Amino acid sequence: MRFQRLDLNLLVALDALLSEKSVSLAADRLCLSQSATSSALGRLREYFGDDLLVVKGRNMILTSRAEELIEPVRAVLEQVRTTIAVSPPFDPATSDRQVRIMASDYSTEVLLSEALIEFERDAPHMRFEIQPMTDNVVETLERGFVDLLLTIDYAISSDHPSQILFDDDYVVVGWKDNPALAQPMSRELYFSLGHVTARFGKSRVPAFEDWFVRRQKQQRRIDVVAPSFLSLPGLVIGTNRIATMHRRLAMRVVGTLPLLVREMPFDIPPIREAIQWHITNNNDPALRWVVERLAALASDAAAMHGNVVPLGGVSESARDQIAVQFQNNSGSR
């Protein structure tokens, strides 16, 4: 469809190119080949009489005209989406919608595994794709590669809506025959032992507990770096090493593995698991249904077992400061 010589289909490509400042990244976002996206850029350049994107060093930058187009193009597409592209009413019983969720194996184990059982019963045709955590989770959400981000509140963005689902704290986990665990865990003992911790992505982004303990005056010895939270228990069995784990996950594994749990010998701020979605999806009925079901399931679990730890010990201002430091120094987890 054309309007005053402009193929309106090109507006979507233009928005992606202006946002990504890269033909290859825009192609990924549009689910097009790189050659097709390059062709779209060529037609846009011809229409506007401007290069729009130019090569500078190893990167591409926007021209002044392109900078001027960012907000108008985004506003036009959003108006079309909200006023014209009206979706039919959402019915979970008949919907075949695919929902992409970025979550750690911890979040998957303690929440999503149970939720997906309910989803199969109430929304039998819906499909779910769980993606592993990346180096920059908020960027992945903003680029539209996932629909929902399930992670700790320290790692989410203030630019998009979110909802707190549940809270959790940390415990020390070790092999049942580890002689160090025959006594209460003290701070001195904790820092004298070898540790197993999890780090993620190509940049080996630390988990929150790893990042927080690094900020202590006394440093622990990391003997093993694991690729996931669920791999921690198996890597301490048969050794004198210990792991610092989320309590909810630890309680699930100690019942089936030869492990012991000890309380942390110093305070680590408890985490709050949150779910976040892009602000442009705020009125998406399918995503709202998924979020509401996850929140209800998390609430039912809290009512049955009680909160893991009271959150009053850390003020909101202190949590905000921790979030800023965590995002600036580590990325997210």
Q: Does 301 reside within a domain?
A: yes
Domain count, the chain: 3
Q: Does a structural domain hold residue 137?
A: yes
Residues 191 and 158 grouped into a single domain:
no
Question: Do 113 and 70 have their domain in common?
Answer: no
CATH code (residue 74): 1.10.10.10
Sequence-separated (6 or more) residues with CB below 8 Å from residue 118: 293, 297
**Predicted local distance difference test score (pLDDT) of residue 82:** 67
| Phi, psi (degrees; rounded to nearest 5) at 210 | -65, -45
Query: What is the pLDDT, as a whole number, of residue 125?
Result: 96
Which domain does 63 fall in, by range?
A: 2-83
Same domain, 156 and 287: yes
The one-digit pLDDT tens for each residue of the chain (333 residues) are: 344 456 667 888 889 899 899 998 988 888 888 898 998 899 889 888 899 889 888 888 999 998 998 988 888 888 777 666 566 788 999 999 999 999 999 999 999 999 999 999 999 999 999 999 888 889 899 888 999 999 999 889 888 999 999 999 999 999 999 999 999 999 999 999 999 999 987 878 888 899 899 888 888 999 999 999 999 999 999 999 999 999 999 999 998 999 999 999 999 999 999 999 999 898 899 999 999 999 999 987 655 544 444 334 455 555 555 555 555 565 444
- Residue that finishes a domain, picked among 50, 83, 116: 83
pLDDT at 102: 96
Q: Identify whether residues 121 and 206 lie together within a single domain.
A: no
> Are residue 195 and residue 152 in the same domain, yes or no?
no
Q: Are residues 139 and 283 in the same domain?
A: yes
3-state secondary structure of 219: coil
What the block records as the tokens of 12 is 């979507």
Exposed e or buried b for every residue in 255-266, given b needs 16+ CB within 10 A? eeeebbbbebee
- pLDDT for 311 equals 38
Are residues 300 and 325 part of one domain? yes
In a domain, 93, yes or no: no
Helix axes 64-83, 9-20, angle to 10 degrees: 130
Same domain for 230 and 197: yes
Quickly tell me which residue has 């779209």 as its tokens: 40
pLDDT at position 121 is 96
Structure tokens at 243: 């792991």
Instruction: Clarify whether residues 149 and 76 are in a common domain.
Output: no
Give the pTM: 0.69
Give the pLDDT confidence score for residue 312 in this predicted structure. Answer: 41
Whole-number Å distance between alpha carbons of 309 and 193: 26
Residue 90 placed within a domain: no
pLDDT value at residue 327: 57
Q: Answer yes or no: is 88 within a domain.
A: no
Give the number of other CB atoms < 10 A from CB of residue 274.
Answer: 18
φ and ψ of 132, to 5 deg = -70, 160
Cα torsion for 36, 38, 42, 45, to the nearest 10°? 120
